[in-house]
């Protein structure tokens, strides 16, 4: 599967912010794979995130649903992001006042844990691991990606 996400510049409003989040997330993960990654590299992504209310609900390394706040999520991604690749395809994006629903598929490839007997390559609908990303509504449409 290849990354098949539209460019955020092709959208307006909160839909644009949601797609900017995806673009910036991939940039952060790509930087993790290079020497010199630092806490400051999170800043462009954090411009979009409501850090106080962020909640990620989904499955990471186990089959149980986990809930994490921004700091927990960031710590997890920092720990594993440099060893993992994400690819996704946008299926639909719907916006109503104050809410955006992004639906798609994704593939996550990560190293095996000691308890796994095979590689973890999973393609699943987004709904199987929902990320509730509380984005700031004050970010303008013209914000640089």
The per-residue pLDDT for range 54-83, each reduced to its tens digit, is: 888 877 767 888 888 999 999 988 888 888
Using alpha carbons, select from 108, 131, 134 the residue that is nearest to residue 120: 108
- Tell me if 111 is assigned to some domain: yes
Sheet holding 55-58, edge to edge: 66-68, 55-58, 131-132
Structural domain for 58, as ranges: 8-132
Is 75 part of any domain? yes
- Structure pTM? 0.72
Question: pLDDT by residue (tens digit) across 92-127?
Answer: 888 888 888 888 776 666 665 555 444 444 443 333
Phi and psi of 132, rounded to 5°? -95, 90
Percentage, residues of the chain above pLDDT 70: 69
Does any domain span residue 142? no
1: in domain: no
In a domain, 119, yes or no: yes
Fill in the DSSP letter of residue 111. P
Q: Is residue 144 part of a domain?
A: no
Answer whether residue 143 is part of any domain: no
Give the number of domains in the chain.
1
Considering the domain boundaries, does residue 19 fall inside one?
yes
């Amino acid at each position: 599967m290849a990354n098949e996400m539209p460019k955020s510049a092709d959208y307006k409003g909160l839909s644009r912010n949601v797609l900017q989040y995806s673009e910036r997330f991939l940039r952060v993960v790509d930087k993790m794979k290079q020497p010199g990654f630092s806490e400051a590299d999170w800043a462009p992504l954090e411009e979009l995130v409501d850090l106080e209310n962020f909640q990620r609900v989904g499955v990471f390394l186990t089959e149980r649903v986990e809930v994490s706040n921004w700091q927990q999520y960031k710590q997890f991604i920092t720990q594993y992001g440099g060893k993992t690749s994400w690819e996704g395809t946008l299926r639909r994006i719907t916006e109503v006042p104050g809410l955006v629903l992004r639906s798609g598929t994704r593939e996550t490839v990560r190293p095996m844990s000691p308890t796994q007997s095979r590689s973890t390559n999973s393609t699943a609908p987004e709904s199987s691991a929902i990320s509730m990303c509380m984005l700031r509504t004050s970010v303008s449409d013209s914000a640089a990606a």
